[in-house]
Structure 1
Amino acid sequence: MNDSNATALQSVQGRDFSHFDDIRIQVQAWRTQSGTQVRFVRRPELPMVDLMLYFNAGTSLDGDTSGVAALTLHMLDKGTTALDATQYASQIERLGAQVKTSIRLEHSSVSLRCLTAEQVLDPAIELFTSLVASPAFASAELAKMKGQLLPYQASRHTTPQLRTRLEANRYLFAGHPYGNPLGTTPEGIETTTVDQLVAFHRRAYSANNLCVAMVGDLTREQAEAIVQRITQALPQGWAAAQLPEVPQVASKTIHVELAGASNAMVLAIPMSVRPDDPDYPALVLASEVLGAGVDSRLLRELRLKRGLTYGASSRLTPHEAGGLLNIEWEIASAYITASQSLVAELLETFIAQGPTAAELELARNQLAGRFMSAVAGNQTLAALLAGAARHGQLANHTNLYIEQLQAVTPEAVRAVLQTRLEWSRRVFVSVGPTADQRPLPDLPSTDQ
């Protein structure tokens, strides 16, 4: 192990993860009669509650109506059947509550944070329930939202790193609901109607299509009552169907011309590992060794050793039907091809040999540190619980996570890399200006 490895490992080993048992989280789990999965953690230290709703209503449900999932989500807080957008925002603000919405490829989320004092909690839950169950979908508000969403989505096409991910998905998942991770097209946004939003909401925002997580100063009885209040107001009985298998496409190298000073790069490797798969912790550790922290393999090779880039990273994007391991970096335009060869060689070596014991220990400690920070916060814990429920992980997943990481060996990581990554179907994408290609500069000389 080199000096930087030793220093990094020593710094995280200064944090004591041996006492994780002392902060085990008591997660209460149940399923309502309407089919909603619930995760609840009582934390009476602060008079607040964080409530997170995960609907299986992501952009992959668009079908032939591109943009309907995103527009439905973005219209939820633009007024209800009882209050217009201004009135709704005013009442939420008066209570000091926070409502947030977001959408991803496979789910949409709606969250509430508020005080648990009865004079705040009761009206806040009433407003929150009306937001998810009885949105107005007013024509005037839809026109405004389209005007905001169109330029926002256009800007994402001109953001180099986002564009690399878009093009990788477009190729690897061609013809599949994952093929457009933005979830919209200009034509789809412009042509989506109020009736289509109403129909999508009636299906996708069903109580049977929902996972709920709640963390805060509530009793179990209060939590059950809140969940019942929300789910009874929602549409009933619909659940998203299982997505088809992703297509099997050949390896490819793609370049997208875009003005700029350099090229954003991605190496996207298909994988078939869901978060509830026993092999998933090993893949998480592999990604950590590759591209998390200044002493990751990617940064050591591309930045510290060669000075080619400021940043390089590895990120897992697991999906129900098949996900990706993305390796991302930025490079001078003259070194597109050479850097792709270098990164491919680095990955091939890593797949063949796996991590060292020291690298694995460092990765474990980094992940454990971030995880312990996440479970310490009510908002971040609620998001973890909702995500775990959505992925079918056990209710006590938060208590098993560190143990699962500790059980992974270098040999297990190597086996997962060799059997679960589809290296032969990898795709390289570069986004930026074209330039004459050159070999990489010679390595800097080092004093003996």
Structure 2
Amino acid sequence: MTLGPSPDGAQTLPAPLVARTVRVDPEDLPADLMDLLPPEGGNAWVRRGDGLVAWGEVAALRTEGEDRFADADAAWRTAMAHAVVRDEVRLPGTGPVAFASFAFADDSPAGGILVVPRVVVGRRGEDAWLTTVDVGAMAPAARLEPTEPPLGPGDVTYRPGGLSPDAWRSAVAEAVAAIRAGRLDKVVLARDVEARTAHPLDPRWVLHRLATDYPGCWTFSVGGLVGATPELLVRSEKGLVTSRVLAGTIRRTGDDDADLAHAGVLAHSSKDLEEHEYAVASLTRALEPFCSSTNVPETPFVLHLPNVLHLATDVTGVLGEEGTSSLALAAALHPTAAVAGTPTADAVTLLARLERMDRGRYAGPVGWLGADGDGEWGIGLRSAELDADDQHRLRLFAGCGIVAASVPDSELAESEAKLEPMRHALGED
């Protein structure tokens, strides 16, 4: 059921939603929760084997424009105010849950989508649960058996998206010139690559491989956007707020000794430290109005992923105003300097001109929220947008932070490294 504005213009969800969560034995669940997803697809938010998977659809709410976050948040609050909930587990992710993904830009036709699934299965350490949701009546019991495994996509061909590699190098050079001229401090330029598969793409194939290859990332699937993001935009849980900033990247070589040396270089790189500092400062300024206190480490750490090394900082805070939802926090933080630039408004204007594409929901918030407003939101990075009308086509995305010291050839190489997770996820080996 796809919903939009009611006659008075407000975004609505059906009422009353009726949800029941029961405890299940973790031994009854497959090691990979995504084995439960049906061939027609579903939603996922999984890291290190824990998280949520969901399927079926009670409702899907679409929003648009600069109010896309607020409209979705208000609709969810209203629905929860009238919901009938029986939750026997009472952990983050139990009870009714909505999955959502939002466009990067206010004027993107991709807008936002909030999905209320019919069945949600969750696991958190030694706890596991099953939630069923329906409208007006309790939903019937759901299965917990693994589905048939997905088939591979066959041969995959790639071609440039909005810009060719040479044109993107030129865009990087133009961005560097603008920065050196003092028009802004940093801009994050993204590029897209179009992929075409020989066989219809089963998104579960991609999700399985991403979760296996990048267990430390948040593997997600919401509204046709799939990926494995290393960047947690915000988590809100019982008054504690957490956010991870990633900015500053170097490609791994596959040689442990060389990568250790590269980590040392990254940790002392003035270019990467400058880029990272802008991102941390931007996020902290956006978070502070909502928190009674915040903690920002003085120096970043190096996050090791299979394909790249990142400078990373984990910012924490204590929520100051009760009732602020995780989605409201995500909206306030978006876009961060890590995906837009500094100053943000100037960077967004420049990247819109230089990228020659609509990012859609790439680099926008993606995640879930529960009945109490708590939830987890990542930034839709290391991701691909599935074509709703063509099961053989999808767009892959990658972006790089450009500062005064950036070199176009190096930034192109970094973007290729960031495309590698999705390219490998589409492979057959």
Place the TM-score, normalised by the shorter chain, in its bin.
under 0.3
TM-score for the superposition, normalised by structure 2? 0.26
TM-score for the superposition, normalised by structure 1? 0.25
> Counting helix residues as a fraction of each chain, which structure ranks higher?
1
> Counting strand residues as a fraction of each chain, which structure ranks higher?
2
